[in-house]
Structure 1
Amino acid sequence: MDKNTIIESVDYIKNIIDIVPKIGIILGSGLGELADALEKKIVIKYSDVPNMPVSTVKGHAGQFVIGELLGKNVIMMQGRFHYYEGNSMENLSLPVYVMKYLGVENLIVTNAAGGVNTDFNPGDLMLIKDHINFAFNNPLIGRNDEKIGTRFPDMSCAYNKELISIAKGISNKFNLDVKEGIYLMMTGPCYETPAEIRMTRILGGDAVGMSTVPEVIAADHCNLKVLGISCITNMAAGILDKPLNHAEVVETSNKVKDKFKNFIINIVKEI
């Protein structure tokens, strides 16, 4: 990633906002309503920010929302970019670096995912403890700028243990049945085959999706603390005798949005 590209995007946003966001939140499919909880919010369309790709997926508003949540300065991505939309891995990482240079220290990454673990049910929330990159590509390929991050980042604790502990504490406090597991990314846009899901289970994956991993790699690269949360919106291919579709993803997200929203808000409160 070219630092000049990042700074150009950052400077545009800095000229609009007058706060320094310390917490960043990436909102996945059907989860964008959390942005409504922000106070004193400013909305900036991705299409207005220099160098920023544009989200094309239904359910993704395609904008930054900056404001206060429980008195804390927060920037949210209301919708994200995906590899399957034709974006380069480098483009997928740009918003993460932008948030870093705006002042973000903690990043909460959310997604809608298919449940691979048969103990999961649609509507469950899963704390991501690790991931498997089955996109077979990486946003850090190419020239590295040591001012942004090291050439060879350590990924052994990509998902911050302290933030996971905070999230577990919140789930216990409010008696939420929150799962924990490993997220496996495939490129999409087609859903996985039953054979691919059997492979995912053998490899140790508990949930499968089409995002998140490039963002987390970039966050680790620039030393952001990351908390990952998957909303299990459907059971993956072959587990149930029914076809998969995006409408089900959005429908399930809508059913659990209040639980998800309150979970995130209480986590932010404790960070």
Structure 2
Amino acid sequence: MEHNIYRKDQISHEDYQKSADWLLSQTQHRPKIAIICGSGLGLLAEVLQFQDSFKYSEIPGFPHSTVQGHAGRLVFGELRGKTCVCMQGRFHMYEGYSLSKVTFPVRVFKLLGVETLIVTNAAGSLADSYHCGDIMIIKDHINIPGLAGLNPLNGPNDDKFGPRFPPMSGAYDKDLRKLAFDICKSLGMSKFVQEGVYCMVGGPNFESVAEAGLLHRLGADAVGMSTAPEVVVAQHCGVRVFGLSLITNKVVRRYGDSDTVDHQAVLEVSAMRAAALQELVAELVGRMDMNNNTAM
């Protein structure tokens, strides 16, 4: 008897469509932009106008967020004249979810008509030049779970979403990154804005000194426990991506350093920089040209 090791976690196209159809029946909003809010960054959703919001527990097929700092709501509304859908809280491997569940909303967004995904996260800095409170525009990622075979695209490929072997070499849209830098300059944010490589690890523990040293030598500038699977799935289904990391702590890379990190400290730094991050995302959304799927 043949056994399919992926069958347990496999989600059918009909499952995604069921969630999308339910949402389309509950709101008049038809979003072209989706925003995923990381730890402590859920205030981005609060600035949407003409809101319709739904608890994850209300939406067919949606997992439930269990992490402090993640509200667990899907919020539809308008931001700078553009219709958006915003996730107040995301899902993580360390909560016990399969990666197909972690990335479930991204494919639902595609079926809603979303063309651009903005991902935000809280991350620890590995680069010596970074400081707590810096905003890092993500230019690339290192997906440690993916390299180890934990990939949301495992199992039979759904050709309705994308190809069997999608490229990741241009995962983070260069035009949106350039636009973001121009916006940061005009808003006077350049002094605390960086561009770098985000590394995803599985968590939930923070990194050991040896692990941090390894990730730094691999070329990572910041490290966190999310984002890469969502970006992989977005790329697979043809949704362009822009990513931001809020640097909330310095990762300990040397024995004897007295620095430590805890989740509460992450939330405190997120609250400190929330307004700047919110302003940057709002301005970016406002200046997107949705007709040509490019930046203005």
| TM-score interval, normalised by the smaller of the two chains | over 0.9
Distance 1:109 1:2 in 2: 24
Distance 1:174 1:59 in 2: 27
Given candidates 32, 35, 49, the residue that maps to 1:25 is 35
1:176-226 deviation line (CA, Å, top 9, x unaligned): 121000000000000001111110110000000000000000000000010
Structure 2 residue 52 is matched with structure 1 residue 42: yes
2:78 corresponds in structure 1 to 68
Q: Which has the larger radius of gyration?
A: 2
User: Any conservation in 1 of the 2:80–2:283 contact (CA below 8 Å)?
Assistant: no
Deviation, structure 1 residue 36: 1.1
Structure 1 length as normaliser, TM-score? 0.98
Letter in 2 for 1:138: N
Distance 1:242 1:157 in 2: 35
Deviation, structure 1 residue 238: 3.3
Q: Which structure 1 segments of 5+ residues have no match? A: none
1:242 corresponds in structure 2 to 259
Deviation, structure 1 residue 162: 1.2
* Equivalences, count: 271
User: Any conservation in 2 of the 1:132–1:205 contact (CA below 8 Å)?
Assistant: yes
Deviation, structure 1 residue 175: 2.2
Secondary structure in 1 matching 2:111: helix
2:247 corresponds in structure 1 to 232
Secondary structure in 2 matching 1:113: strand
Moved over 6 A (4+): none
Q: Which structure 2 segments of 5+ residues have no match? A: 1-10, 289-296
1:220 corresponds in structure 2 to 235
Structure 2 length as normaliser, TM-score? 0.90
In angstroms, what is the RMSD of aligned CA positions? 0.9
User: Any conservation in 1 of the 2:142–2:200 contact (CA below 8 Å)?
Assistant: yes
1:1-271 mapped onto 2 (5 Å cutoff): 1-135=11-145, 136=148, 137-177=150-190, 178-238=193-253, 241-271=258-288
Distance 1:51 1:265 in 2: 29
Compare 129-138 and 217-226 and name the one that shifted more.
129-138
Distance 1:60 1:119 in 2: 29
User: Percentage identity across aligned positions?
Assistant: 45
Distance 1:198 1:142 in 2: 33
Distance 1:188 1:237 in 2: 16
